[in-house]
Amino acid sequence: MKKLLIVLAVLTTGLLACSKQGFLDQTTTTDLDENSVFSDSARSMDFLAQIYTGIGYSFTPSRFSGLAGLDASSDEAEGPLATGITTYSQFASGSISAFTISTDAWTAGYQNIRAVNQFLAHLSVIPFNEDLKQRTRGEAMFLRAWYYALMLKHYGGVPLVGDTVYNVNDNIKTSRNTYEECVNYILQQCDEAASYLSTSYSGLNYGRITKGACLALKAKVLLYAASPLYNGQGIADAEPLKSITGYPSFDINRWKLAADAAKAVIDLNQYQLYEDNNTKAGYGFYQLFQLRVNTEYILARMNGDNRDLEGLWRPPSRGGNSTSGAFPSQNLVDAFEMNNGLPITDPSSGYDAQHPYDNRDPRLDYTVSHNGSMIYKSLQSVLPIYTYDGEPNGDATGVGTPTGYYGNKMCNDLVVPDYIGSASQRCLPLIRYADVLLMYAEALNEYEGPTQDVYDAVQAIRKRAGLLPYELTPGLSQEQMRSVIRHERQVELAFEESRFWDVRRWKLAEQTEDQVLKGMKVTRNADGSFTYNVINVRDRSFRTPMYLWPLPYAETAKSAELLQNPGY
């Protein structure tokens, strides 16, 4: 089949310029052919850097039409009203279709895999010294594994093309490999890549792939492979899709493999939680996202100084754009406990529905802006925002926000979106150490139950968050600990491309996604106090096929060998 399956982005005709700090600094190129790129060391490095630039496409909060991302495709948030069809609104309404869903996972995946194969095919002739050849080989192999891993969680098994560099007249492989084959290939790539790489880099090389990133990706892939959706409880009834979309049968030892892989990252002793409860409770949870270099990031999408999230998520009165970005849901807000570690549904927690944000888990204020949140209006003044009915600055529920909330995760307190002189060093955390600790706790709990190592990992997260007490109740059952870990993932990793995938791999999306998304309506009383009432924002719908993405119809239409996922 000609011109089939893969968008053949011939990257050798020119390198896209990028402007990112460090090894992703701007490059200036003209029209280049394959020989001129790979006969020059600087151009070859530019080529590899270009493959790096796409690693955060699935994470980005404005992924779909520049408006919102996977956060608005889950129960975390509501997306902005859009005039056209968007992937996030399709997930909310249950109308996902192979004809209209975003194709970026497929196209970005295979474009970049092809670029990696080009790089590796020419590596022997690139004028690098031997050490640099080995390091860049490891980076390229990781990047190939990374893009396959992203496709795997979107679609299940996909066609593995190995080292082949397909050209426009080649017969391209169209049959999907099994889930197990894809997992094994990714793990093999991670292991080999790790053997070429150091545990850390500094200076202009900070942000490059490390041994830790290889081990962390391996742990994440194994965690997903052990989870119910893929571990013998998939959505396909018969072969060959049963083996393509997951393992046909359950094996508890997959949890042990995931736990061992996460422990290997921990045992590197290279990473630690960024903790500061002295400045203010949970302040380390805020500060780590403002630092380009910190002790917690294992893999990040490097950026130059930017105001991206502030522009996307801040209220209109603070220079934000209410026509883009995801608006946190009441469902998410209610998941944050009180600062004493008790859920708000516990009668002894101290929760007051008419002062709903007082004495909450400090991570709430660092994740969500609400009525009364203090946000810079200019670099000289910090003022509260209000979302009550009739609020005059455009921030009110139903005016600036459909839910009564604005995003605050990773935003910088000192950055004003419409003030060009302010910017954050923020990079997007694709894998961080807190996630590894929670992966380890989850996998070990599923395999052995709530051992002391499980308690220690979860309590470290809660301690850094500023909860007092942060300790868990002794003697929890495996099921109770499972609930604790899932809760911690929901609040710790909110707006970090976690929730959408977690509820799917746990096979909980029928409960979390097929329900009414809630918001908060605020009324200002004559005496200046406020009354809070939970409102319905959207009645969301979920269908079983939505546990996986459909393959783009434009690809499956080209070959009967490329099987579509169940239900599409």
Whether pLDDT at 259 is above 80: yes
> Does residue 70 belong to any structural domain of this protein?
yes
CA distance 347 to 533: 19
Whether pLDDT at 11 is above 60: no
CA distance 189 to 240: 25
Helix, strand, or coil (residue 530): strand
Mean pLDDT of 318-341: 94
Mean pLDDT of 147-156: 98
CA angle 462, 56, 233 (to 5 degrees): 70
Whether pLDDT at 60 is above 50: yes
Domain count along the chain: 1
Q: How confident is the model at residue 347 (pLDDT cuts 50, 70, 90)?
A: very high
Helix, strand, or coil (residue 22): helix
Residues contacting 85, CB < 8 A, separation 6+: 100
> Does residue 96 belong to any structural domain of this protein?
yes
Mean pLDDT of 355-382: 94
Q: How much is the pLDDT for 20? A: 42
> Does residue 142 belong to any structural domain of this protein?
yes
Whether pLDDT at 308 is above 90: yes
Q: How much is the pLDDT for 170? A: 78
Whether pLDDT at 434 is above 80: yes
Q: How much is the pLDDT for 17? A: 30
Q: Are 344 and 446 in contact (CB under 8 A)?
A: no
Q: What confidence tens digit (pLDDT) does each residue in 459-489 have? A: 999 999 999 999 999 999 999 999 999 999 9
Residue located via tokens 């270009």: 50
Which range is least confidently modeled, 29-43, 402-416, 519-533? 29-43
Whether pLDDT at 133 is above 50: yes
Partner residues linked to 519 by β-bridges? 535
Q: What six digits make up the tokens of 478?
A: 């495996």
C-alpha distances in Å from residue 556, one per residue of 40, 112, 550, 552, 565: 39, 20, 10, 7, 10
Q: How much is the pLDDT for 365? A: 98
The secondary element (H helix, E strand) that includes residue 431 is strand 428-432
Q: Which domain holds residue 58?
A: 11-252+547-556
**C-alpha 70, offset from chain centre:** 8
CA angle 396, 401, 403 (to 5 degrees): 100
> Does residue 363 belong to any structural domain of this protein?
no
HEC string of 122-190 equals HHHHCCCCHHHHHHHHHHHHHHHHHHHHHHHHHHCCCCCCCCCCCCCCCCCCCCCCCHHHHHHHHHHHH
What's the whole-model pTM score? 0.94
- Tell me the residue type at 136: T
Whether pLDDT at 87 is above 80: yes
Q: How much is the pLDDT for 497? A: 97
Q: How confident is the model at residue 33 (pLDDT cuts 50, 70, 90)?
A: confident
Q: How much is the pLDDT for 25? A: 54
> Does residue 38 belong to any structural domain of this protein?
yes
> Does residue 63 belong to any structural domain of this protein?
yes
Q: How confident is the model at residue 5 (pLDDT cuts 50, 70, 90)?
A: very low
Q: How much is the pLDDT for 421? A: 77
Which range is least confidently modeled, 414-423, 431-440, 452-461? 414-423
Whether pLDDT at 122 is above 90: yes
Classify the C-alpha dihedral 306-311-314-319 as positive or negative. positive
Q: How much is the pLDDT for 24? A: 66
CA distance 472 to 459: 7
67: domain CATH number is 1.25.40.390
> Does residue 334 belong to any structural domain of this protein?
no
Q: How much is the pLDDT for 31? A: 64
φ, ψ at 377 (rounded to 5°) = -95, -35
Burial class (CB in 10 A: 0-12, 13-18, 19+), 180: middle
C-alpha distances in Å from residue 359, one per residue of 183, 344, 346, 466: 44, 11, 14, 11
Q: How much is the pLDDT for 111? A: 96
Strands 297-301 and 406-407: unpaired
Q: Are 273 and 297 in contact (CB under 8 A)?
A: no
CA angle 87, 56, 189 (to 5 degrees): 115
CA distance 455 to 152: 31
Q: Which of 140, 440, 149, 409 is nearest to 271 (CA)?
A: 440
Mean pLDDT of 131-149: 98
**6-21 core/surface letters (b: 16 or more CB in 10 A; e: else):** bebeebbeebeebebb
CA distance 55 to 24: 13
Q: Are 50 and 115 in contact (CB under 8 A)?
A: yes
Q: What is the dihedral of CA 485, 488, 490, 496, to 10 degrees?
A: -110
Helix, strand, or coil (residue 550): coil
CA distance 267 to 259: 12
Q: What confidence tens digit (pLDDT) does each residue in 199-244 have? A: 999 999 999 999 999 999 999 999 999 999 999 999 999 999 999 9
Looking at every residue in the chain, the average pLDDT score rounds to 93
CA distance 291 to 395: 29
Mean pLDDT of 58-66: 96
Whether pLDDT at 15 is above 60: no
Q: Are 469 and 340 in contact (CB under 8 A)?
A: yes
Helices 433-448 + 253-266 axis angle, to 10: 150
Q: How confident is the model at residue 166 (pLDDT cuts 50, 70, 90)?
A: confident
Q: How much is the pLDDT for 172? A: 80
Q: Are 184 and 30 in contact (CB under 8 A)?
A: no
Q: Which of 118, 135, 264 is nearest to 208 (CA)?
A: 135
C-alpha distances in Å from residue 67, one per residue of 157, 395, 490: 29, 18, 22
CA distance 227 to 507: 9
Radius of gyration, CA atoms only, the chain: 24
Mean pLDDT of 257-263: 98
Residues contacting 194, CB < 8 A, separation 6+: 138, 211, 214, 215
> Does residue 234 belong to any structural domain of this protein?
yes
Residue 14 or 419, more confident = 419
- Tell me the residue type at 287: Q
